[in-house]
Structure 1
């Protein structure tokens, strides 16, 4: 019998961690010979040009209100294409499950939770909206045929706040080490900061938002420089939903007199090359779902300092075995950990071995184990060309 037809559903292909995960999963399924659709509510974002030819992109082109129209468009897609499985993420209001029920199809839906929802809701919403969203998650996520979380911390958060038992979820870490990862990490970076004889470079990666708490990292840099020379580079775009964060960072940098030693190159297509050349990778986040960049950094062999935030980094670093963990928001502890790491970096080979737990092949197999547990392999239907861009 033929392999099943697998679809992955995500709002857009913006340059975030969840989008990268879905792209990597789609690629991993395609490499194994599955028919794969990557279904987006809107065909936009930094990763739009990164989709391999082996993956079909389906643009639902949802209009406002997006929640309603993406659900109706997804219903039509499911009714027409009838994939065996639909893996959905960034789907708080369970559009995938509503679409399945409205379409009346047998497609089995896997809800993939990529972030610590209680932290995200608290960060973005008032108490009333937080309660509403948790109510939606509690009532509709159990409709899914399976729930996968990116970390055990995310699963615990769902159990505590949505009353979904841990045993009804499967923890599968994110796939970050691609087949061309080593090649990309060895690409040349021409920036003069990485030239021989220059001061050590600390690297942060992520959207310029409050969640990433780059203010903590800037404050830590100011303390580090009291002990040794160092510079800080932060890769990532300013998020249009939080435009005030970058000016606040700029003000803090000016206060410490760090204008010549902190750089914001913006979004870069290949952050792995920068990670490989940095002296220490630092995650300063208030919360994460998994912390893809931590796993990526250790895959390049670069030592890591991370906040012990909910959720993910401690799991990646095995409670501090593979990198130093510091309390959230504690710039003094972060500075101390950075100085210690600069003086005694962890063996790169040890870090690379650890990163093999996060290869695409390893993680895709874990997803296939979940899918195989849901139903026997069924013949795939040949996808049509309607709605493809």
Structure 2
């Protein structure tokens, strides 16, 4: 594996939060290190140590320990001047924008490649005028032309970026997130300490993700209430977030306390996925939808909203799983009942190859200049 040998990559993130972007970047780092590439994770703040522990042992973690914009700018600039990595790969806002500003004004020789993991026009459309996130599309239009490379995690995200920036589509490279690895299959076989997932128990509908408005777990809970009218089942939701109390209140209002459980953060969601009867993505919007790919990889049938963007691409427009309109709990319930009744769609293993670590790493290496 001589390709990339001796190169130095820095991956700049806000922190190690338990999200799909972090998992994708950590997965990518494992593969790049096999190609003899030195990897630094550069973080504004460390975040969750349990997520940091998933990094390869050979990777270096650089905690800038900063919070405000000026200190992020100056600390990142100092890091680049001292370490001089060949390429800086960024994800999230405003780490993307800060990295490009550093590149523009410091004239660093480090190449900067930004990656976009969400459908920004949808994500920011309801942000209030005074919110910093409201101005993300304007920032993108201003600074993304300065990037040495732009990666989108789905074709839908790429199309959205073209509309926002006015850049030619050739400037944006779509690379599906590195999701599927041998580790997923190994972890899927591990034991799960949850009585609902024991043999002989009722079917379990599983949702995994941050408890935020984007994931629209309220829609899933409402759909589950309808599912219960025709099929005895349980709903298990894994994840943390600001909507936890509101979602619990909805469960209580619908009198589903004994049938719905919130499992919080778990180290190994793959073992839960492998034992669930159906996996459901209820999001209002996505960049790609890594959890759908993970569930498919361990052989669990999936149901998803046809949200912008990603699920339709992952499921080949519904060939490999059920797609329903966003926010339609009736349609979501019907699709779940369909799967629980035995109408499952099988997935061609060759289709999943495009979501593997190996496939993503080779494409990333090309745009990173390795």
Q: What interval of TM-score do these two structures reach, taking the shorter chain for normalisation?
A: over 0.9
Distance 1:345 1:178 in 2: 28
Displacement after TM superposition at 1:105 (Å)? 2.2
Q: Deviations 1:297-320 (Å, cap 9, x if unpaired)?
A: 100110000000011111111111
Check if 1:189 corresponds to 2:192: yes
- Alignment of 1:83 onto 2:81: no
How far does residue 20 in structure 1 lie from its aligned partner after superposition?
A: 1.1
Alignment of 1:295-314 (within 5 A): 295-314=293-312
Tell me the CA shift for residue 261 of structure 1.
0.5
Describe the SS at the equivalent of 2:237.
strand
Q: Does 1:11 align with 2:19?
A: no
Higher RCO, 1 or 2 (CA under 8 Å, sep at least 6)? 1
CA distance in 1, matches of 2:363, 2:58: 21
Query: Hey, what does 1:121 align to over in structure 2?
Result: 124
CA-CA distance at 1:353 after TM superposition: 4.2
| Structure 1 partner of 2:62 | 58
TM-score (norm 2): 0.94
User: Partner of 2:269 in structure 1?
Assistant: 271
Q: In the alignment, is the contact (CA less than 8 A) between 1:7 and 1:39 conserved in 2?
A: yes
* 8 Å contact kept, 1:281–1:297: yes
Q: Are 1:354 and 2:351 matched, yes or no?
A: yes
The equivalent of 1:171 in structure 2 is 174
Provide the TM-score with structure 1 as the length reference: 0.89
2:366 to 327, 349, 369: 369
Counterpart CA distance in 2 for 1:274 and 1:123 is: 34
The residue aligned with 1:227 is 230
Distance 1:226 1:132 in 2: 44
What is the aligned counterpart of 1:157 among 156, 160, 163? 160
Task: Say whether 1:71 aligns with 2:46.
Answer: no
Inter-partner Cα distance in structure 1 for 2:332 and 2:161: 29
User: Structure 2 residue aligned with 1:253, among 251, 254, 257?
Assistant: 251
Moved more, 273-282 or 339-348: 339-348
SS in 1 for 2:182: coil
Matching residue of 1:213: 216
Please give the alpha-carbon distance, in whole angstroms, between the structure 2 residues aligned to 1:189 and 1:353: 29
Gaps of 5+ in 2: none
Q: Deviations over 1:121-172 (max 9, x none)?
A: 1354437756632221101011000100011111111112232232210001
